[in-house]
Structures are given as structure tokens and as C-alpha cells.
Amino acid sequence: MRGRPEVLVRAAAVGGAGAIWGLGLARLVAEVGRCPFLYASVPAVVAVAASCAVVALAVWWWADASASVSGSGPSSARLAPVPLTLPLLYVCGVTPRPLAGGVLLVSGVVFTLLLAWANRLRWLPPAVLGLAVFGLYVCTMLPSVGQADTFEFQVVVPLLRVAHPTGYPLYSLPSKT
């Protein structure tokens, strides 16, 4: 049996990961669902994040209880809440597109469930997981060459030239490597 401090730390980690996922969900709903109250109301966003944290804790508690009953060890279940933090890239604005945010939300849930129940899913070959990740990657790729500055940098960097003034030489040089 695990000690009480370890359980509290794990619960805080799972709840925090669920809250991050909830923040990503709130942003996606605000942008795609055109819900302006999620842009203007901090309590509404906190409520969404707290709800997702509670759901993540409930799922973790249920998976942990069923793993201890079945006798399967929590080897990969310890890392299970980590993918729920993927939408942090979307929340912070690193990936500003709603499509990318939706992919991060869905993939976070899928990979969390796969890690939580990896001991029971021994039949799942790594190739299927690799194909799923590759499919998500293809869905979020830029469909053609970029426009304006994006296209210019795609052309300038391989030739080791400088773009339009101001030129961004410090961007062009490290991009070549």
C-alpha cells in the first residue's frame, strides 16, 4: 500500500493535468463555439478547469482502484496524466489554431487512456499507435507552401540568404542547421 503523501502528490498531479486540459477545452470552446463569456469571465474558465480536474481525478481513482483489485502494477499508470498537459501548448498560444488545439485535446485524452490501461492492452501493437500519431500529424500539416513571410522564409533559409529588410539574419542562420 502506498503512503498517504505519495497519494496526495499523485492526486495533485492528476488534478493539475486535468485542469490544464480543461483550460485548453475552455479556449477551444470560446474560439470555435463562439462563447464570448469564456473570454470575459474568469469564474467560467475556472469552473471548466475545475470540472475537468474532478473528472480526471475520478477516472484516475477508478483506474487505480481497478488496477489494485486486478493485481496489475501501476508501472505505466504513473505517467498516465502527463499527456493531459498537451493542451498547454494551445493555452499558452504556441499553437494558436483551433484545429491544433482540438488535436492536442483529443490526443491528450487518448494517450492518457492508453497509458492508464497499458497493462490491459498488451495486444495493442506499437505500429497502431505510430499510425495514429502519424495520422494526427498529417491532419495538422500546412496544406501547401505558406503565404507572405512564411513562404519567403521557406525559400530564403535553404539558400542561406537574408529575407526582406530587416532581414532576420539571426533567424535564417540557425534555421539552416
Q: What is the pLDDT of residues 59-78, one digit of tens each?
A: 877 776 665 655 555 555 56
The rounded Cα 119 to chain-centroid distance in angstroms is: 22
| Gap between the Cα atoms of 163 and 153, Å rounded | 7
User: Are 19 and 73 contained in the same domain?
Assistant: yes
Same domain membership, residue 15 and residue 44: yes
Peptide bond into 166 cis (omega under 30): yes
3-state helix, strand, coil in the chain (%, to 5): 70, 0, 30
Whether 118 contacts 83, CB under 8 Å: no
Global model pTM greater than 0.75: no
In 109-138, which positions are buried (b, 16+ CB within 10 angstroms) versus exposed (e)?
Answer: bebbebbbbbbeeeeeeeeeeeeeeeeeee
Residues 24 and 88 in one domain: yes
The tens digit of pLDDT for each residue in 113-164 reads: 777 666 566 656 666 767 777 787 777 777 777 677 777 877 787 777 777 7
Q: Is the pLDDT of residue 20 over 90?
A: yes
| pLDDT tier at 1, thresholds 50, 70, 90 | very low
Instruction: Check whether residue 36 and residue 112 sit in a common domain.
Output: yes
Q: Are residues 54 and 126 in the same domain?
A: yes
Range of the structural domain that residue 176 is part of: 144-177
* Claim to verify: residue 32 and residue 50 sit in the same structural domain: yes
User: Quick one: 175 and 118 in the same domain?
Assistant: no
Same domain? 99 vs 53? yes
8 Å CB contact between 129 and 114: yes
* Amino acid code (one letter) for 57: L
Please give the backbone phi and psi of residue 64, each rounded to the nearest 5 degrees, phi first: -70, -40
Q: In this prediction, what percent of the chain has a pLDDT beyond 90?
A: 10
134 and 167 in one domain?
A: no
Among residues 141, 92, 161, which one has the least CA distance to residue 175?
A: 161
Instruction: Please tell me the least confidently modeled range out of 22-26, 30-34, 59-63.
Output: 59-63
